[in-house]
Chain A
């Protein structure tokens, strides 16, 4: 996995990139809470959300194809939940049923709402990480008093995700050099070995990283980080952002 797979555009120079990370983090989470908490929303609401996403993409100069390819990740998770919604919800016209399962108009609507909301939430996160360097996001979390251990875990996750991925790719390559096909059960066993040795390597690396931290005087507490003051301009930007969210909420009541 290339090191810029997740945040290729994070260090851009557009006006959106220039906004304070705390404003962007607060707005993004408020947006996600809004779309997740509204029970039923019409087409206009989704169109308004989509417009907001499109405006952000254009303003931040992030290609649409980039967003679409990265947001595909939501499909297996949201798709599975949507299918269970679709098969178990009752009400409205029944199109098909078998035993306890049925496909109804209500089920289809709920499933499509779930898919749309999941995609919007993931898109919002993709825009956030592509307009804000990850270290700035972590600093914003620090401002919001998120627990230091959690921040450190997020920081390590971001730092070592690529390394772990590369390690697994190297192991797969080494396996493929000496592997010429076989029964599915053998392939599963081999996959198990790969995962377990990846786990062991990760465990060993964590020990070495901890040694490196200790050798530089770490005593288990988070180091002090200097944060910029929250300016009046930031407050204004936040007010504009929340006004947009209120408009979205109002559209959802149509």
Chain B
């Protein structure tokens, strides 16, 4: 039996509020367990693509997530299986303590308080954040905030995880640890970044966006060897 794609985007067109094109006729598929990177220079439309997939931006075309077409009525169901880690962890951490923030998603899933507590403890433990569980998010360092933001998403137990610039402002050691951690997850990842080393460590396939258009979809190793293409699109 042939696997159905987990994410399928067909002829996606999306505009910003001011009328500038964010995405122009973008089509791609993500198969289960085959993480995909979205690379491109600043302003290429990477973040717009992720927010579009989460149902936050209006678009034309068709998005199918886990076999369900993305519509205003299917969005709540889709967000039960797919979640996102935002670029700025301060946008993601809004509850008074870290534990409450991690519990926010599971509480909204309707789990019992024991199940929520078990998930929170498990996720915080896996990310070495247990000691910080009662700290307010603004008492955390940037690296801790980044891990905490990831914890809030992982507590949802998503089968698809979207990450927007996950390595931005991280020191090399934290970046390496994050890559190692993400590599061990069961979820299929869709990572928007221009950190090619990070992409190489995690994603076998990559799509290159530039000015909202999909330039190419190739194996990561092929893209990394194509220096001319990388230079043309300000990635090298």
Note whether A and B form a binding pair. Answer: yes
Q: A residues touching B (Cβ–Cβ < 8 Å)? A: 3-4, 11, 133-135, 138, 155-156, 158-160, 162-163, 205, 208-209, 211-219, 223-226
**Given contacts A209-B91, A216-B83, are A138 and B104 in contact (CB under 8 A)?**
no
Chain A residue contacts of B95, Cβ below 8 A: 135, 155, 159
Smallest Cβ distance from B115 to chain A, in angstroms?
12
Q: B40 interface residue, CB < 8 Å from A?
A: no
Question: Are B139 and A224 touching (Cβ within 8 A)?
Answer: no
A211-B91, A212-B86, A216-B83 known; 8 new pairs, CB 8 Å cut-off, are A134-B136, A155-B96, A160-B94, A209-B94, A211-B56, A212-B91, A214-B54, A215-B83
Bound together, the chains give a CA A225 to CA B115 distance in angstroms of 13
Chain A residue, CB-CB nearest to B153: A216
| CB proximity to A under 8 Å, residues B124-151 | 134, 136-139
Smallest Cβ distance from A60 to chain B, in angstroms?
18
Bound together, the chains give a CA A223 to CA B102 distance in angstroms of 12
Chain B residue contacts of A135, Cβ below 8 A: 95-97, 100, 134, 136
Bound together, the chains give a CA A205 to CA B91 distance in angstroms of 7
Bound together, the chains give a CA A215 to CA B138 distance in angstroms of 21
Chain B residue contacts of A11, Cβ below 8 A: 134
Q: List 11 A-B contacts (CB under 8 A).
A: A135-B96, A208-B91, A211-B91, A212-B92, A213-B104, A214-B79, A215-B153, A216-B153, A219-B108, A223-B107, A223-B108
**Given contacts A159-B94, A205-B91, A208-B86, are A216 and B105 in contact (CB under 8 A)?**
yes
Q: Which of B56, B76, B97, B136 makes the CB contact (< 8 A) with A217?
A: B76
Q: B88 interface residue, CB < 8 Å from A?
A: yes
Bound together, the chains give a CA A226 to CA B103 distance in angstroms of 11
**Given contacts A4-B139, A159-B138, A208-B91, are A215 and B84 in contact (CB under 8 A)?**
yes
Question: Are A217 and B156 touching (Cβ within 8 A)?
Answer: yes
Q: B residues touching A (Cβ–Cβ < 8 Å)? A: 51, 54, 56, 76, 79-80, 83-84, 86, 88, 90-97, 100, 103-105, 107-109, 113, 134, 136-139, 152-153, 156
Chain A residue contacts of B51, Cβ below 8 A: 211
Question: Are B54 and A216 touching (Cβ within 8 A)?
Answer: no
Chain B residue contacts of A213, Cβ below 8 A: 94, 104
Chain A residue contacts of B86, Cβ below 8 A: 208, 211-212
Chain B residue contacts of A134, Cβ below 8 A: 96, 136
Chain A residue, CB-CB nearest to B75: A214
Smallest Cβ distance from A14 to chain B, in angstroms?
17
Question: Are A208 and B139 touching (Cβ within 8 A)?
Answer: no
Bound together, the chains give a CA A134 to CA B89 distance in angstroms of 21
Question: Are B94 and A217 touching (Cβ within 8 A)?
Answer: no
Chain A residue contacts of B88, Cβ below 8 A: 208
**Given contacts A216-B104, A216-B152, are A158 and B83 in contact (CB under 8 A)?**
no
Smallest Cβ distance from B45 to chain A, in angstroms?
17
Most chain B beta-carbon neighbours within 10 Å: one of A158, A208, A216? A216
Bound together, the chains give a CA A138 to CA B136 distance in angstroms of 13
Question: Are A159 and B108 touching (Cβ within 8 A)?
Answer: no
Bound together, the chains give a CA A211 to CA B56 distance in angstroms of 7
Most chain A beta-carbon neighbours within 10 Å: one of B94, B100, B139? B94
Smallest Cβ distance from A122 to chain B, in angstroms?
22
Q: Which of A155, A163, A215, A226 makes the CB contact (< 8 A) with B54?
A: A215
Chain B residue contacts of A133, Cβ below 8 A: 96-97, 134, 136
Question: Are A218 and B108 touching (Cβ within 8 A)?
Answer: yes
Smallest Cβ distance from B49 to chain A, in angstroms?
14
Question: Are B109 and A217 touching (Cβ within 8 A)?
Answer: yes
Question: Are B108 and A138 touching (Cβ within 8 A)?
Answer: no
Question: Are B100 and A217 touching (Cβ within 8 A)?
Answer: no
Chain B residue, CB-CB nearest to A10: B136
Question: Are A162 and B84 touching (Cβ within 8 A)?
Answer: no
Bound together, the chains give a CA A216 to CA B91 distance in angstroms of 13
